[in-house]
Amino acid sequence: MLEIRNLTKRFGDIEAVKAASLSVPDGAFLVLLGPSGCGKTTLLRMLAGLELPSEGQIVFGAQIVSDGNRNRAVDPAKRNSGLVFQSYALWPHMSVRGNVEWPLKVMKMPKADRAARVGEVLRLLDISQLAERYPNEISGGQQQRVAIARTIAPRPSVLLFDEPLSNLDAKLRVEMRTELKRLHRATGATTVYVTHDQIEAMTMATHVAVMNHGRVQQFGQPQNLIDHPETAFVATFVGTPPNNMVPVVKNGTSYKVGGRLMPLTAPADRCLAMYRAESVKLSDSEGETTLPMELVETSAIAGRVMVTGLAEGLRLTAIVDSLPAVQIGDIVQFCLPPRPDCWFDTDGERIR
């Protein structure tokens, strides 16, 4: 349904998006995930038709809607897509009903059909009781529902969301994630959702494109990104808690790991060893595979304890069953397993 072919966007000398390519099936829920400034919103704006690609193509179904190589683009209003902005962007002088009805008026839908569709959408978003209120009379979460209702009213085949939950409190974000998934199932629209929150990505997406510095680092289903990260960036950005990345440097016949010599066999003289948090243990005593670290943070997580240590710029996180009798600031021995979960080269590319 949605295909991006070698898509690039330049602003002067700056490449905001670099040769991005991916393809998702009809009805997929694609999340563009990455830190601020990684290019995900620029990519979404190109999908919406608000930016023209410098190179590459965007295809909706069988139609090329943007072609940077030929400097051509289909008008945003003719792409059969809908965009939900981060700021809601509701008309303040229109009621909830008026906001939702507006795009249907623009389509010149008959009045009776408009009324029926507005009622249907308001019920779907559970905001029928707000129909005659104005945006300043309802909460942020309710405004977000209105913005979504207005977007889906014309039945777009592609739904675009630009960090729609970032203005909501934590509890409401969790509730709205559930509502958006329910809405996705009800509409069947192919959805593209931008966020920097990897929990949102992992809980909502059928497909995830992890972006950094304008490039798609990895594209695939959520669990595959967790199980088989292709780059060090993906390994440390996706997952809760993130994976540990430890520099390994050959030193004579041994290897220096996190500043200590350890009996380890590495695939290169300089590389990065990845350890999942659940693979790292705490030890009561110093050993040949332990690293003494200052305890800087503890947190309960799913009935276990997440423990974080810091030493000479290296940060390690372990998931343990219970916390030993230590306090923040104490030196704790973090024990690394004999084999890392996987290896990356110094450029962050996976070795094995």
Are residues 17 and 145 part of one domain? yes
Is 125 a member of any domain? yes
* Beta carbons within 8 Å of 102's beta carbon, 6+ residues apart: 91, 94, 150
Q: Which of 206, 237, 268 is the last residue of a domain?
A: 237
User: Which letter, b or e, does each residue of 84-105 get, where b requires 16 or more Cβ atoms within 10 Å of its Cβ?
Assistant: bebebebeeebbbbbbbbbbbe
The CATH code of the domain that includes 289 is 2.40.50.140
Helices (H) and strands (E) in the chain, counts: 8, 21
Is 205 a member of any domain? yes
Q: Is the pLDDT of residue 122 over 90?
A: yes
Mean pLDDT, residues 193-204 taken together? 92
* Beta carbons within 8 Å of 140's beta carbon, 6+ residues apart: 88, 167, 168, 172
Cα distance between residue 226 and residue 233, in whole Å: 12
User: 318 is in which domain, residue-wise?
Assistant: 244-344
Count of beta carbons in the 10 Å neighbourhood of residue 197: 16
Are residues 133 and 282 part of one domain? no
Q: Which of 210, 237, 264 is the last residue of a domain?
A: 237
Are residues 175 and 35 part of one domain? yes
Number of domains in the chain: 2
**Position 175, amino acid:** E
pLDDT digits 0-9 by tens, 160-191: 999 888 878 888 888 888 888 988 998 899 99
Are residues 191 and 154 part of one domain? yes
349 — pLDDT class (breaks 50, 70, 90): very high
- The strand pairing partners of 284, in sequence order, are none
Is 295 a member of any domain? yes
Q: Which of 217, 237, 257 is the last residue of a domain?
A: 237
